[in-house]
Amino acid sequence: MRGVTLDCADPQTLAGFYGALTGMRELFSTDQFVALTDDSGCDLGFQRVDGYRAPQWPGQDVPQQFHLDFRADDLDAMEELALKLGAAKPDHQPGDGRWRVLLDPAGHPFCLTSS
């Protein structure tokens, strides 16, 4: 796989969030699209979509469509960083503490896991 691209209203803001969360760096940027890389061969992209509607978690009125999972050596520290960077933590938390579901600044659910 070459990469994953997320739809959003503001590619620069969302790329800034994920860059700070993951340590990935900007590879390419325009007003319409930003790509982050870490030289793993799988980049993370963000594309502007007019009329973007954020997914609704856990409801499916606007489906999540997909979500990203990130491994964290320290779940508490990674969650704290994500929240500081602008993520939100929904009340619904499945998984019995094995992972944590957060919402990025554009409303996409993503998970932090230690496994």
Q: What is the pLDDT of residues 24-83, one digit of tens each?
A: 999 999 999 999 999 899 999 999 999 998 888 887 777 767 789 999 999 999 999 999
Q: Global pTM?
A: 0.85
pLDDT of residue 34: 98
Superfamily of domain 3-113: 2,3-Dihydroxybiphenyl 1,2-Dioxygenase, domain 1 (3.10.180.10)
pLDDT of residue 57: 80
Burial 73-97 (b: 16+ CB within 10 A, else e): eebeebbeebeeebbeeeeeeeeee
Over the stretch 1-24, which tens digit does the pLDDT of each residue have? 789 999 999 999 999 999 999 999
* Helix (H/G/I), strand (E/B), else coil: 46: strand
Please name the amino acid found at residue 36.
L
